Structure 1
Amino acid sequence: METNAILGPVATLALWSMIIWVWMYATRIPAMQRAKIDAAKMVGGTGKSLDEVLPPEVQWKAHNYNHLMEQPTIFYAVALALAVGGMGGGLNTQLAWAYVGLRIVHSLIQVTVNRVLWRFAVFALASLALLALCVHAFMGFVLH
């Protein structure tokens, strides 16, 4: 069994995060220009402060990018641990692909139509896949 197969989903989610990063700036910078915001004169603040002045559909990309820096950190840690521990194949790889696929769907919902109920349903399913990975890692490393 290929124990490093779980690294495919890891690389895919990392690349997807960078795609969202590019999409965020490709929409945010023109929106800032239209809003006559001079970034060179900005001091302090956060991207959240732009929620008050930029259209919501522009900020949705930034919000999603932030979401990709939150829970997926657990995914990266557990997936890498499973790979290093020789448990990164089989069902764990399938669960990892399910997690990544669902997170991509979550992103596409959030950055386009941003229907909260749809996002929540997909997020909950992804979270269950991640929970299963965490339980498998715990069982393999702690209970073994």
Structure 2
Amino acid sequence: MEVSSQLIQPLVALVIWSMVMWLWMYATRLPAIISMRLEMDPMAPSGEQMAKLPARVRWKADNYNHLMEQPTLFYALVLALSIMGVSSELAIYAAWAFVVLRIIHSLVHVLGNKIELRFAIFVASNIPLLFLVFIAARSAFNS
């Protein structure tokens, strides 16, 4: 398998994980809405109704939203590296490390939300992301 194809695998894995979190979010949110008999009010300020849900339910949505934020940089970097034809094992290891750390971050968030631990994992996930930035910058500006 080509290295650039191997670089796409962690990207796809993180997309799959994001879809797992999306399903988990609705699998907990919809039953909570029904059991609490919440009536959806389109005139309510954004987030006001969901704030009434139990924290354990909200954490799934919060984490799904987090997966739509910083990982967008990861997606852009991996695609850029693939387009540039970067064939670096360091890039592949960094990409997988980012994905694994984001999955761990998700699990810490949604299963108990230990904020200090979650923050430490978030910070750690930036290390492989920075490696990807440096690899992409070196490739893009030294061509």
Same fold (TM over 0.5): yes
Kindly report which structure 2 residues correspond to 1:20-39, keeping only aligned pairs within 5 A, or say none. 20-39=21-40
What TM-score, normalized by structure 1, do the two folds share? Answer: 0.92
Structure 2: stretches of 5+ with no match in the other structure: none
Greater mean deviation of Cα atoms: 83-92 or 59-68: 83-92
Conservation of the 8 A alpha-carbon contact between 1:57 and 1:111: yes
Q: 1:88 to 1:80 in 2, by over 3 A?
A: farther
Q: String of CA shifts for 1:22-43, please: whole Å, max 9, x gaps.
A: 000000001111111133xx21
Q: CA RMSD in A?
A: 1.3
For 2:87 and 2:73, locate their aligned partners in 1 and report how far apart those are by CA, in whole Å. 15
| Runs of 4+ in structure 1 over 6 Å off | none
Q: Equivalent residue for 1:100?
A: 99
TM-score, normalised to structure 2, is 0.93
Aligned to 1:116: 115
**Is 1:16–2:33 an aligned residue pair?**
no
Residues 61-108 of structure 1 show CA distances to partners (whole Å, capped at 9, x for unaligned) of 000000000000000000010011111541100000000000000000
Structure 1 residue 2 displacement after superposition: 1.9
Structure 1's unaligned 5+ residue stretches are: none
Q: How does 1:1-144 map to 2 (within 5 A)?
A: 2-39=3-40, 42-44=41-43, 45-46=45-46, 48-144=47-143
8 Å contact from structure 2 (residues 51, 58) kept in 1: no
